[in-house]
Structure 1
């Protein structure tokens, strides 16, 4: 049983993938869940699956790139489910390549969702959380790419997730005096449809675009399950851990390589 049992959790990007796995894991622990997403049909489907496990759940349309949308979502959640005790900032997208060759709108979309989106979400939900008592927590879904030396194919996505991890650290410092904990989650390669994230891209960032199914073969063949990520993440959140790493086969080697290179940047001791 979670310390958040009987309380309300909000998950952005909760319609499918890791977000939906979080929602179902929380439902099994007795937590009421608001599923926020731009994918209305999928969000409703996930919310029904959550409610079928015996807790309250609502699906709320929310675009993390739009502060007004998030403000309306916050009002609806509190009205329907009560004060928010757990906020999981999970919505994220990916683009291939780096920042130089990608289109301007693709870069804007990536940064608006992965960097400004968490800021918008925290600003919408956290002030009211600061006014309540009891267990309160914020979690961020970053990526094990935060520990890697990024190659050209992962450059833009990985850098945006490194920014998100830094943002989580800053918000942790900001919320500590209020007794609100923060956990940063770093999954390795996961079997989700992030490779097809542009299927939900708003018109202002270029509109929807679907990738062929074969584009997701690497994620399907090599990725860990979303249930594995959710179980590890929920345990870390419940324990109040600062960091939750869900490694794949390369995560520790990438971590060691990155920090060896950082150590090499220090001046030689005289």
Structure 2
């Protein structure tokens, strides 16, 4: 694990005047895809961002991009499937920026394929990252989010969990990924009910097909199946989901977005 700080360089940016100015966000999976796009988007809105992922070089690049635009970011290179490491990521936000207002659980693994051909380590990886890592991050963040909701000018804090349309409908060769994403959606709703009167908003975003590297990690048969399924479909960009997260996090206290499904226009 390592932490690297990146400070403002005097470049004018929305960071000094954005709707999230004065807040701190932790984004997991920030090295690529939806996590990366979300971190950049929240920084544009003025949030200081803690970038969490295992690939230190990649989150360093994201931090440099934020810094170059006048924003503030620190990196936390660690594995959120380790509960102690997840807790350290949250503590980094508090020690570096003095608070935590927004948690975006965007880290995800998709290793779909024929059940008989699947390796148990692939199933374990999906459960560890998609579900357990999200649980560990949320557990560690909650005390700080509750405090932010009470003491901040916004009078609200946010947890945004990135699930999937695979958390709404099951499909062949997707059993374990389905299980983790159904779990994310269910846990988010339960937490929403538990903490809604404390002004901690829990939201789940369920993307359809997004143009990220996740599809390339599946078994070859599953990759071919996906290619056929999404032939002719203009996939979403990671920035489309980042916009959805920003809409949720910048909403006034009175408005809570509980669940948002975002599919490509062409996706049935």
Return the TM-score normalized by structure 2: 0.80
Partner of 1:24: 40
Measured in 2, the distance between the counterparts of 1:75 and 1:42 equals 21
Say whether residues 1:182 and 2:202 are aligned partners: yes
Partner of 1:86: 102
Say whether residues 1:137 and 2:158 are aligned partners: yes
Partner of 1:147: 168
* Distance apart, 1:10 and its partner CA: 0.5
- Give the counterpart of 1:160 among 180, 196, 218: 180
In the alignment, structure 2 segments of 5+ residues that lack a partner are: 1-16
* Distance apart, 1:13 and its partner CA: 0.6
Contact 1:2 1:238 in 2 (8 A): no
* Distance apart, 1:30 and its partner CA: 1.2
Q: Which range is displaced more, 232-241 or 215-224? A: 215-224
* Distance apart, 1:3 and its partner CA: 4.2
In the alignment, structure 1 segments of 5+ residues that lack a partner are: 199-209, 254-270
* Distance apart, 1:106 and its partner CA: 1.4
- CA-based RMSD of the aligned residues comes to 2.6
Measured in 1, the distance between the counterparts of 2:134 and 2:70 equals 29
The within-5 A match list for 1:56-205 is: 56-97=72-113, 101-132=117-148, 133-134=151-152, 135-148=156-169, 150-197=170-217
* Distance apart, 1:85 and its partner CA: 0.4
Contact 2:52 2:59 in 1 (8 A): yes
Contact 1:236 1:244 in 2 (8 A): no
Return the TM-score normalized by structure 1: 0.79
Measured in 2, the distance between the counterparts of 1:9 and 1:232 equals 15
Partner of 1:229: 241
Partner of 1:262: none
Partner of 2:264: 248
Q: Structure 1's 90 and 185: CA in aligned 2 closer, same or farther, altered over 3 A?
A: same
Q: Structure 1's 250 and 143: CA in aligned 2 closer, same or farther, altered over 3 A?
A: farther
Contact 2:166 2:178 in 1 (8 A): yes
* Distance apart, 1:98 and its partner CA: 5.9
- Say which structure is richer in helix: 1
Q: Structure 1's 186 and 2: CA in aligned 2 closer, same or farther, altered over 3 A?
A: farther
Q: Structure 1's 99 and 82: CA in aligned 2 closer, same or farther, altered over 3 A?
A: farther
- Tell me the alpha carbon deviations over residues 29-66 of structure 1, each in whole angstroms, 9 at most, x when there is no partner: 11111110011110111111112222210111131110
The within-5 A match list for 1:213-228 is: 218=227, 222-228=234-240
Measured in 2, the distance between the counterparts of 1:112 and 1:37 equals 14
Aligned residues: 238
* Distance apart, 1:4 and its partner CA: 2.4
